Amino acid sequence: MFAQDKQSLERIRSQIVTFIKDYVHSSGHKKAVVGLSGGVDSSLSYFLTCDALGAKNTIGVIMPSRLSNKESRENAEELIKLKKGIKQYYDISSIVEKFGSVLDESEKNKRSRIRIGNIQARTRMIILYDVASREGGLVIGTGNKTELLTGYFTLYGDGGCSIEPLGDLYKTEVWELAQIVGVPKKIISRKPTAELWENQTDETELGIKYRTLDEILWYYIERNNNPDEIVKFGYEREIVEKVVALVKRTKFKRHTPPSPVLRRYNYQELV
């Protein structure tokens, strides 16, 4: 379903690189800013942006918090060295802790952890946009299609960016393309985690393996199969219904905030 030959992956790589280059340049910019977590998604986005604009025009920003794993920081550092790129480093621990104290966030329940995770993501977004403003660049997103469809991102946090180069790639395809572009194997094989709290992993939080999630999404989104049809392909009904519900429930995160239509216009094509 997802396994593609090298030629197809090279074509996808070329399309994304061209997309980044054309969008950044057409907006009047020459530089881009990518937040590096040490995971496969941000690594792939960084590599493709370097290919599109050059490593000297691609700023890799490392923003650890007290929850960040040492391995994550080392992976991010290694990527920048591999590409001979530009690095900027900001420890956000004190900022996140200050937010927590101001909001009196002392509970240890799941909601509390998610809220702190969102604060981390939005703090990073603020830093990325400030760096972009200072350097005259655009913020490049690192979200993949699986995350976007299931709402597994923080609105105006890691979801805050100018473009999403990986936005039409399922997680499974991200792993495949990452091998082609030369992302280190230790990053590709690492368990995906947003490091929202200690020992947190994406698949545990989602309650489903990425590969199974991708397959169900593929049938539902790409093939337009309904849940009953997907179940017949061998998937548990409970899992299928959970995935479909996630897609529907998080629709609001994938659209520009709506406004009421108060008057009628004859809009002209602007772009």
Measured between its terminal Cα atoms, the distance across the chain in Å is: 35
Whether the CB-CB separation of 194 and 68 falls below 8 Å is answered with no
Which candidate in 5, 10, 41, 164 is catalytic? 41
User: Any catalytic annotation for residue 214?
Assistant: no
DSSP 8-state symbol, 19: H
3-state secondary structure of 36: strand
Nearest to 146 by CA among 166, 162, 176: 166
Question: Which candidate, 134, 270, 150, 116, places its Cα nearest to that of 221?
Answer: 150
Residue 264 makes CB contacts below 8 A (sequence gap 6+) with none
241 is catalytic: no
Active-site choice (10, 71, 147, 164): 147
CA separation, residue 220 to residues 128, 174, 230, 245 (Å)? 34, 19, 8, 11
Distance CA 10, CA 139 (A): 24
| DSSP track, 220-253 | IIIS---HHHHHHTT--HHHHHHHHHHHHHTGGG
Backbone angles phi, psi at 152, to 5 degrees: -85, 65
For residue 160, the 8-state DSSP code is -
From the CB of residue 39, how many other CB atoms can be counted at a distance below 10 Å? 22
Active-site residue list: 41, 147
